[in-house]
Amino acid sequence: MRWEVWLAYFAACWLIALSPGSGAVLSMSHGLSYGLRKASTTIFGLQAGLVIILLVAGGGLGALLIASEHAFAVVKTVGALYLIYLGIQQWRAKVDAAPQAEGGAVRTTVMSPRRRFATGLLTNVTNPKGIIFMVAVLPQFIDPTHALAPQLALLAVTMCGVDLIVMHGYALLASRMQGLFRNARAVRWQNRVFGSVLMAVGAALFFVRRHPAG
């Protein structure tokens, strides 16, 4: 891959990562609820999902998925319902005041590391917008005269490196606001706001359209 092609892709990665989406919402939600360290597990799950999408798109399966109306509808529906499910879970998250703790601490139910990782992975894997974007963008940066695997590896490392920085940035900014949510009522409202956003993003996926075949 030529240097100028990689630079163009690097710039595109920043634009993709910084654009608001389900991954950004999830990173902020877990950053605010659990803190940056625990949110990192979620973010690594997002990267695993991102790699899967990139490999699917780069291997040509993404184009086949988009060409199949029924397959695309299944992925879109699963992705939308999953985000709505996450939003409902966030909305209904249990919050308990701990009056015995100094300063009236608030205790919230924390997902296990495995569940946080799986949540991040599934959030990206079931996102049809990500598949559409990858199928549209990747071919512009792949040289058909060279081996595909090394190029996909470089594209994946670049994309995930940028996304790791951006998602951790979102989570860090959100975690800085934890001090504002020191009572049960505030935490409940925080859960409802992020839950509503996740449900709204999920509902919006129902309106994503595939590119017509041919």
pLDDT in tens, 64-90: 666 677 777 777 788 788 778 878 877
Model confidence at 103: pLDDT above 50 = no
Quickly count: other Cβ atoms within 10 Å of residue 213's Cβ: 10
Angle made by CA atoms 152, 158, 161, in degrees to the nearest 5: 135
> Tokens standing for 173?
């900014």
- Tell me how long the chain is: 214
Window from 39-48, 84-93, 160-169, 174-183 with minimum mean pLDDT: 174-183
In whole angstroms, give the CA distance from residue 149 to residue 55: 9
Q: Contact, 45 vs 115, CB < 8 A?
A: no
What is the reported pTM?
0.75
Confidence tier at 47 by pLDDT (50, 70, 90):
very high
Q: Is the pLDDT of residue 160 over 80?
A: yes
Residue 161 is predicted with a pLDDT of 95
Q: Give, in degrees to the nearest 5, the angle at Cα 52 between 46 and 57.
A: 125
Which residues fall within 8 angstroms of residue 4, CB to CB, at 6 or more apart? none
Residues facing residue 206 across a β-bridge: none
Q: Which two tokens stand for residue 139?
A: 């071919």
H-helix segments, 68-147: 69-91, 113-125, 128-137
**Among residues of the chain, what percentage have pLDDT more than 90?**
24
Chain center to CA of 75? 15
**Which is more confidently placed, 168 or 18?**
168
Lowest model confidence (mean pLDDT) among 6-20, 45-59, 73-87, 143-157: 73-87
Report domain extents, the chain. 20-205
Tokens 């100094």 correspond to what residue?
Answer: 102
**pLDDT band at residue 108 using 50, 70 and 90 as cut-offs:** low
- Please report where in the chains the tokens 């899967």 appear, as a residue: 52
Task: Give the Cβ contact number of residue 163 at 10 Å.
Answer: 23
